[in-house]
Amino acid sequence: MLDLNEVAMFVQVARSGSFAEAARRLSVPSATVSRRIQQLEARLGTRLMQRSTRKLTLTSAGESFHERCGPAVEELIEAGQLHVANSAEPSGMVRVAAPTSFFDFFQMEWVQAFLAEHPLVRLDFVLSDLLVDLIADRIDIAFRGGPLQDSCYVARRIFASYGELIASPAYLSTHGTPVTLEDLSEHECVVQSDASGSATWRLQDSDGVESEVRVRGRFNSNAQEVLRKAACAGLGIAALPSILTASDIAAGRLVRVLPQYTRAGRGLSIVYPSRQQRPLAVSTFADMAVEKLSRQDWAPSSGA
């Protein structure tokens, strides 16, 4: 007779992609998970997984077994989670991956209020402009902009952002203010450049008509936060999401250039490593973040 606990462990390993991650989610030693999977394989008389030091893959028998038992195990887990969630208080560690500029637009007061309301929750923020492996780095939730390339992850869109052209008052005082898109080619621009040191900005006017303009400058970076700081320092005109520039514009460190044009953004999403076994603390934090961020008006105004 099959041991249902072993079947559930197998499904968790298959979904997680590693024994270590499955063990973390199940709160058991990794050696225990490995041993129970071996016992399950012995009961079935077939190998379900191919293991190596760097990769774990399902055999054809493992894939067939997962297709048959995975949905049933998932329903049982979700039923149990629903029961626990209705009676439990959010608790435990939530590891959050986000861009380095995250706290430029995510207010620390929101974090303080969340922790005060949920005293059993701890937050660990991993800030990087590089995409992290949610499973390998034990990330519970990630904030990502742009298109999502990891189809194995579960995404939740928060909002669509917009980009705007901005520069420091000091730069415009020295170099003048562009009046047309064509004028941008005569200005220093801080850009995420290609190999030639230039970039193409696709902009649209208030009627939705799109235009392309080729720009270049002597300061380039692949990090938007660095471009924002460069623009504040007067190194040139930048095209950045309004979510990153709102506070600088309000403080007068930056002003909008050619405000009749905007740059279609790629939005911000919350990404989870899996649909299964999402702790209540993770769901509660995600709901708070979506509620706070979606209430902000990140769209640039039409006036300067």
Ordered per-residue pLDDT tens for the chain, 304 residues? 778 888 888 888 888 888 888 888 888 888 888 899 899 888 888 888 887 766 788 888 888 888 888 887 777 766 655 555 545 688 889 999 998 878 888 899 999 999 999 999 999 999 887 777 887 888 899 987 755 555 566 767 776 566 889 999 999 999 999 999 999 989 999 987 665 667 888 888 888 788 888 898 889 887 778 899 999 999 999 998 877 888 899 999 999 999 998 876 556 788 888 766 678 899 999 999 988 887 765 544 444 3
Q: Which one-letter DSSP state was computed for residue 211?
A: E
CATH topology of domain 162-264: D-Maltodextrin-Binding Protein; domain 2 (3.40.190)
What pLDDT score does 238 carry? 94
Intervals of CATH 1.10.10.10 along the chain: 4-85
CATH 3.40.190.10 fits 92-160+267-294, yes or no: yes
Phi, psi angles (nearest 5°) of residue 144: -135, 140
Intervals of CATH 3.40.190.10 along the chain: 92-160+267-294
Phi, psi angles (nearest 5°) of residue 59: -75, 175
Report residue 119 as tokens.
């005293």
What pLDDT score does 24 carry? 85
What pLDDT score does 235 carry? 95
Interhelix angle 4-16/19-26, rounded to 10 degrees, is 120
Cβ atoms 48, 7 nearer than 8 A: no
Intervals of CATH 3.40.190.290 along the chain: 162-264
CATH for 4-85 is: 1.10.10.10
What pLDDT score does 275 carry? 66
Query: β-strand 154-159 against 268-272: which pairing, if any?
Result: antiparallel
Handedness of CA 51, 27, 128, 99 (dihedral sign): positive
Q: Show Cβ contacts of residue 55 under 8 Å, excluding neighbours closer than 6 positions.
A: none
What pLDDT score does 251 carry? 93
Render the burial of 17-47: b for 16+ CB within 10 Å, e for the rest.
bbbbbbbebbeeeeeebbebbeebbeebeee
